[in-house]
Amino acid sequence: MLGGLCSDGHFDVSIGRAVRQACSATWNLGFSFTNSTQGYAREQVQVGAELYSAIVQFLKVFPELQTVPFFLTGESYAGKYVPALAYTIHHNNPTAELKVNLKGIAVGNGFTDPITILAYSHFVYQLGLVDTNIYKYMKNVEEAGKMEIRLGNLYDAFLLLNVDLDTYIENSHHQNPYNILYEVEPQVGGDFYNFVELPEVRLAIHVGDQEFSSGSDVYEYMVDDFMNTVRPWLEEIIENYRVLYYSGQMDVMVAYPLSVGLYNTLEFGAAQEYRNSKRVPWYVDGRLAGYLKSGGNFTEVLVRNAGHMVPTDQPVWALDLITRFTRDNLPPSRK
């Protein structure tokens, strides 16, 4: 719903009003709710299974879409959701009555492998946002957090991740870890929280009297799994489908150099090809939009002058990137 109202959807939500935007394509977005605590997912196997069930039901309702190339996309914590669903599709397709025509996945600033992301200290220190003393303290916190992950103490690792980020925010006085260009998080797209509470909007989107929540309950029930990884699933997906991971240059939360720490240690058939390849520039309308590196089915991209939410910060470049990816028209890396 955040994407549909504030990033790339039909509406331009401003304070107190919303203007419907004309567009040449159609898409849908929705909401979900549960009246029971059992309705909340607790780990990624469950997430994959429930999303798979939804996709299969959707394709049964619209059978004309069953043969259309199917791509999964998402950003941030969807760095787990997207691989989880792709992995579930991959393992169900061989015996399923209805096969999902999965062709690839695209993930933006993906929180896929927390142990490689728990390394903020060096990144923010090199940016000059913390001093040497804070850098050393954060480094120690991160090492402790990684040890807890290795020991299987994921909740303790989650607490240390929060200590690490809180230390950075408190000492840098930089309240927005999603884009270092803004010291506070801008109200992207306007006041959509109040917009969805308007009586006419509630009626139009058929939510009845359900209480609106931005996801705090969903987050709470996933905490114990927050620091778990889906790296093995991603590696299997790369062997069988096209995979794009892109990162906004200005993000701290899932910073590009930390993501590269994952990319460089992935194990798949063309992993060495990826590691040995050279980055190439990527241009849109004559402007340098970023840099691209690939090997086999896997491509990673740095998007310039963008933060955690690339389509919001650089919509034209994001459109070019996802269009090229789905059409299998990304520029190749140099060998």
Residue 112's Cβ-side half-sphere holds a number of Cα atoms within 13 Å equal to 31
Q: How many CB atoms lie within 10 A of CB 237?
A: 25
76 belongs to the catalytic site = yes
Alpha helices by DSSP H, 152-195: 154-172, 192-195
251 belongs to the catalytic site = yes
- Residue 109 vs residues 7, 56, 246: alpha-carbon distances, Å: 15, 27, 6
CA–CA separation, 291 and 301 (whole Å): 6
Q: Can you tell me which residue has the tokens 């939009």?
A: 289
Copy the structure tokens of residue 196.
């969805």
Q: How many CB atoms lie within 10 A of CB 53?
A: 11
Among 100, 97, 92, 77, smallest CA distance to 218 is for 77
Among 119, 54, 41, smallest CA distance to 80 is for 41
- Contact (Cβ atoms closer than 8 angstroms) between residue 289 and residue 283: yes
- Contact (Cβ atoms closer than 8 angstroms) between residue 184 and residue 161: no
Helix (H, G, I), strand (E, B) or coil at 259: helix
Q: Which of 113, 247, 308, 333 is catalytic?
A: 308
Looking at residue 43, the DSSP 8-state letter turns out to be: S
Residues constituting the chain: 335
Q: Which of 76, 121, 247, 294 is catalytic?
A: 76
What stretch of H or E contains 314? none
Helix (H, G, I), strand (E, B) or coil at 303: strand
Q: Which of 247, 251, 277, 313 is catalytic?
A: 251
259 belongs to the catalytic site = no
Catalytic residues: 76, 251, 308
